[in-house]
Amino acid sequence: MNLESKPTKHLEGEVICPGDKSISQRILIIGSLLNYDMEIDGFLDAYDPNSTLSALNKIGASITKNNNTVTLSKRAHSFIDASEILDLGNSGTGIRLMLGLVSGLGISANFKGDSSLSKRPMSRVIDPLREMGALIESNDGKLPINVSKSNIINSYSYKLPVASAQVKSCLLLAAIASKNQINLVEPKITRDHTERMIEHFGGIINYGDDLKKGNIELDYCELKPKGNYRVVGDFSSASFIIVATLISSDSEVLIKNVGLNETRCGLLKVLQMMGAEIQIIQSKEVCNEKVGDILVKSSNLHGIEVPNSIIPNIIDEIPILSIAAIFAKGETIIKNASELKVKESDRLSAISNGLDQLNISHELFDDGLSIHGNNNILNTSQIIDSYGDHRIAMSFLIAGIRTKDGLAVKNCENIKTSFPSFKDIMNSIGMKIDEKN
């Protein structure tokens, strides 16, 4: 599916942010472990969470879905060996978290994914899981992967070589599922949805102080079921609406129900450093996650050097940040972001190739980009290749706002993995995105 974004004069309106993809997948897994009747509201009905839901049902969970509402039913039996291959599609979060769960449960399962997921590195979870006692076979550290019945050791300690919330969450879930303690140390603080959810259900986690930064100690205890859980809005999805509003003229948009977890919304700080006019209103806490409404207005942005310390918390937002940088006065420098090379695509190369098509002056580094912005209207007849990556596709479609004749992006089907209502929401506030033959 190819999409085309036409130039837009201004954006205005009020939208409700779709449910968080990461939280939707985590509550399915942890909710299934609780084995209690539970209703989940605000679930993101998209390809990635749905593939995790399907995989869980194939190992004995009892989950039903009606659009954005999910029901988990208490079951009389334990989890079972998977009789079918568990296909996680394009979901890196789903595969890594499910590997931890299955290893901890001590059941057997075979895993596969689509062509993109099959290229992504899984040794980062396979190696520590093996040290914990998991019996895992893989295709040279990639999918397909087979997990056999395993016995996970107690009091495992591991220092993560790379800052990764998926690796951290995988190992925490393996410990919880096997009823064991674990101690982890992450080099930089990453998104903490798993820890917050564990604590929401009564789990005990101790964190390091200034002398032991990044230290996470999970003491096993029985989690306490609750009758319902509400998924807050996905900040990563909101980021596209935010940047679209900032680069449009005479625009103002209110985005409601946005998750404002401090380990996720670093892009707000970066954009404000660039001169963005953004206001958070009506902030509150829902299921141990901070949530609020974001008011965004058109802004004159300027380039900055993005602080290294914030990179792990904006890694998914760097593609859309790059679009903001195109229309910022001066140079924007992004470094220490080599993790982008092992996402759904090599996002550094994908961004660079798209910038080339738009005739934007930039430099590509091994770990980042330097983008020389301007305030001009883009004039190109080139078609941008998304490389089947949802965040690349959506980012360059946002850039179409500031073009002379519009901007076409090919291979946009994967938008449905994380933000299936993207086109409808963006068009509701004034964008003009349609399918292109």
Whether 34 contacts 201, CB under 8 Å: yes
Are 88 and 198 in a shared domain?
yes
pLDDT for 136: 98
CB contact burial 210-249 (16+ within 10 A = b; e otherwise)? eeeebebbbebeebebeeebbbbbbbbbbbbbbbbbbbbe
Whether 276 contacts 251, CB under 8 Å: no
Whether 358 contacts 385, CB under 8 Å: no
Give CA–CA dist 239/320, Å, rounded: 7
Are 14 and 43 in a shared domain?
no
Whether 80 contacts 60, CB under 8 Å: yes
Give CA–CA dist 113/143, Å, rounded: 7
Q: Which of 200, 230, 260 is the last residue of a domain?
A: 230
Provide CB contacts within 8 A for 307, sequence distance 6+: none
The H or E element containing residue 30 is helix 21-34
Q: Indicate the SS3 state at residue 304.
A: coil
What's the pLDDT tens digit per position in 107-125?
999 999 999 999 999 999 9
Give the number of domains in the chain: 2
Query: How far is C-alpha 89 from the chain's CA centre?
Result: 15
Are 61 and 198 in a shared domain?
yes
Q: Name the amino acid, one letter, at 240.
A: F
Tell me, yes or no, if the pTM score tops 0.85: yes
Q: Which of 206, 230, 254 is the last residue of a domain?
A: 230
Give CA–CA dist 262/272, Å, rounded: 15
Phi-psi region of 99 (alpha: psi -120 to 50; beta: other; left: phi over 0): alpha
* Edge-to-edge strand ranges of the sheet holding 12-16: 12-16, 252-259, 289-297, 277-286
As given in the structure block, the two tokens for residue 109 are 């399962």
Whether 97 contacts 166, CB under 8 Å: yes
Residues facing residue 332 across a β-bridge? 371
146: how many CB neighbours lie within 10 A of its CB?
14
Are 168 and 178 in a shared domain?
yes
Are 296 and 217 in a shared domain?
no
Are 174 and 296 in a shared domain?
no
Give CA–CA dist 390/394, Å, rounded: 6
Spell out, as residue ranges, where the chain has pLDDT lower than 50. none
pLDDT for 123: 97
Whether 377 contacts 404, CB under 8 Å: yes
Are 9 and 31 in a shared domain?
no
Query: How far is C-alpha 34 from the chain's CA centre?
Result: 24
pLDDT for 68: 83
Catalytic residue among 48, 316, 385, 389: 316
pLDDT for 56: 98
Provide CB contacts within 8 A for 185, sequence distance 6+: 157, 158, 159, 160, 208, 212, 214, 215, 216
Are 59 and 200 in a shared domain?
yes
Are 195 and 119 in a shared domain?
yes
- Name the phi and psi angles at 69, rounded to 5: -115, 130
Give CA–CA dist 218/107, Å, rounded: 22
Q: Which domain holds residue 356?
A: 2-19+232-436
Are 218 and 239 in a shared domain?
no
Q: Read off the CATH number of the domain in which 138 is found.
A: 3.65.10.10
pLDDT for 81: 98
Whether 358 contacts 382, CB under 8 Å: yes
pLDDT for 53: 98
CB contact burial 293-331 (16+ within 10 A = b; e otherwise)? bbbbebbebebbebeeebbbbbbbbbbbbbbbbbbbeeb
pLDDT for 67: 81
Provide CB contacts within 8 A for 32, sequence distance 6+: 56, 61, 63, 72
Q: Which of 230, 257, 292 is the last residue of a domain?
A: 230
Residue 192 is a catalytic residue: no
Give CA–CA dist 222/186, Å, rounded: 25
Report the length, in residues, of the chain: 437
Are 129 and 65 in a shared domain?
yes
Whether 70 contacts 40, CB under 8 Å: yes
pLDDT for 375: 79
Are 45 and 170 in a shared domain?
yes
